[in-house]
Amino acid sequence: MKLNFSIWVSLLGFLFSTCTAYVATRDNCCILDERFGNYCPTTCGIANFLNKYQPETDQDLQVLENILQQISNSSAITDDLFHQIRNVHVPNRPTQPNVVSAFAQKSRDIIDEVIRYENTIVAHENTIQFLTEMVVSNNNKIAVLKQKTAQLEARCQQPCEDTVQIKELTGRDCQDIANKGARQSGLYFVKPQKTKEQFLVYCEIDSAGNGWTIVQRRLDGSEDFRKNWIQYKEGFGHLSPNDRTEFWLGNEKTHLITTQSTVPYALRIELEDWSGQTSHADYAHFKIGAEADKYRLTYAFFVGGDAGDAFDGFDFGDDPSDKFFTSHNGMQFSTHDSDNDKYDGNCADQDGSGWWMNRCHAGHLNGKYYRGGEYTERDSGPSGYDNGIIWATWRSRWYSMKKTSMKIIPFSRLAALGGGQAGEIKQGLGSRGDI
């Protein structure tokens, strides 16, 4: 600005040197201003004028200079701001796909992990729910068991019956006892002829005086009928005063009763299925041979009964010889340790019982106890053969009875039971002249 002021002075000096007339006009005076009057200004006038206005002008110039400096500073600041903004925000700055995809992948991994944890939590919640239900169920069962235990304990408080009432009357068999006046079923001692010692039997005696001797009883599967030769010989299970237990009287005892005299016996087989239906089958002149003959089963003929004649065999449709090889009349007794059957294998071992096996059976009352009746090859074990409590002429061989009994009575008494059956019996007897 000092330089600008010098130019001003030079310019004014030049103008002053050119002023020479008295009367100042615009033609002869380069500077004509009211502030100089009506004459061209002298050098002193110009100097006074400059002295008068220079400070004010300098002040104005200083103000302008300050303003320009401020503007310049503001511009610099603005430039800096623009520069910073450009550095911070670069519109066309290229993206970094690797970084983004890595972050995206990481996010997906985290989400997957969260989902997995959520699924695990749900699974655990289900397991907890299942276990809770099981605990509740078990608690209920425990409560029931506690209740039963309490009931049993209450029953145990009752004095035990260490004696069994055995009737005083005895005889050669139950019919003999009934003939002596007994009219109550229960436990009696019998002593067949030619027998040294008496033994206990359950007698089923009705009001008409018929006395049945029970040789086999199946009721509830409580007794295992897979027994050996000695056990079938001597008998097993339990006799009870009310006939509520399962047993096999024993081959020797049945042999002694049925062969003690020339009096022929009848065998009655009674069956009950799982729907409560009952049936029976009667055989005339039933007899069990001696042990030396392996307790051979013989009878004269099938008397009748709605259960049908399974002892005569059954045609299962597998082979024409089925009926012949499943008949029982004349068969010796077999157990798993005494194979006396007509089969290359061991029927008793295969079926888990003792019975008058042929090859093997159509009637089999010592078989395995199957609850509900129906059973399958798979249920019967590795052999896959029918091994239930079977009477094939009444129910399929894949149906096992709920209850059975085998009982004997002198044959003459069976004929006296009356009904159409009696006529049938008498007809049969007449043809043989046995009575």
- Give me the residues that bind Ca ion (CB under 5 A), please: 339, 341, 343
10 alpha-carbon distance from chain centroid: 121
Taking a C-beta distance cutoff of 8 angstroms, is the pair 407, 427 a contact? no
Q: Closest distance between Ca ion and the C-beta of residue 345, in Å?
A: 6
- Cα separation, 342 vs 326, in Å, equals 10
Read off the DSSP letter of residue 139. H
Query: How many angstroms separate the CA atoms of 41 and 34, rounded?
Result: 10
CA distance 260 to 399: 36
Judged by beta carbon, residue 329 or residue 358, the one nearer Ca ion is 358
Q: Of 347 and 415, which has the nearer Cβ to Ca ion?
A: 347
Cβ proximity to Ca ion, 329 vs 346, nearer residue: 346
Rounded to whole angstroms, the Cα distance separating 141 from 3 reads 117
Q: Which residues pair with 247 in a beta bridge?
A: 217, 237
Distances (CA, A) of 275 to 73, 105, 365, 372, 400: 114, 69, 18, 9, 12
Q: Which is nearer to Ca ion, 339 or 424 (CB)?
A: 339
Q: How far is the CB of 382 from Ca ion (least distance, A)?
A: 18
Shortest Cβ 374–Ca ion spacing (Å)? 29
What does DSSP assign to residue 276? S
Amino acid identity, residue 374?
E
Least distance (Å) from Ca ion to the CB of residue 356?
13
The least distance separating Ca ion from the CB of residue 289, rounded to whole angstroms, comes to 19
Closest to 432 in 3D by CA, of 418, 409, 413, 412: 412
Q: Which is closer to Ca ion, CB of 341 or CB of 386?
A: 341
Q: How far is the CB of 334 from Ca ion (least distance, A)?
A: 7
In this structure, how many other beta carbons lie within 10 angstroms of the beta carbon of residue 343?
15
Closest to Ca ion by CB, 282 or 341: 341
Identify which of residues 309 and 341 has a Cβ nearer to Ca ion in the complex: 341
Query: How far apart are CB 337 and Ca ion at their closest, in Å?
Result: 12
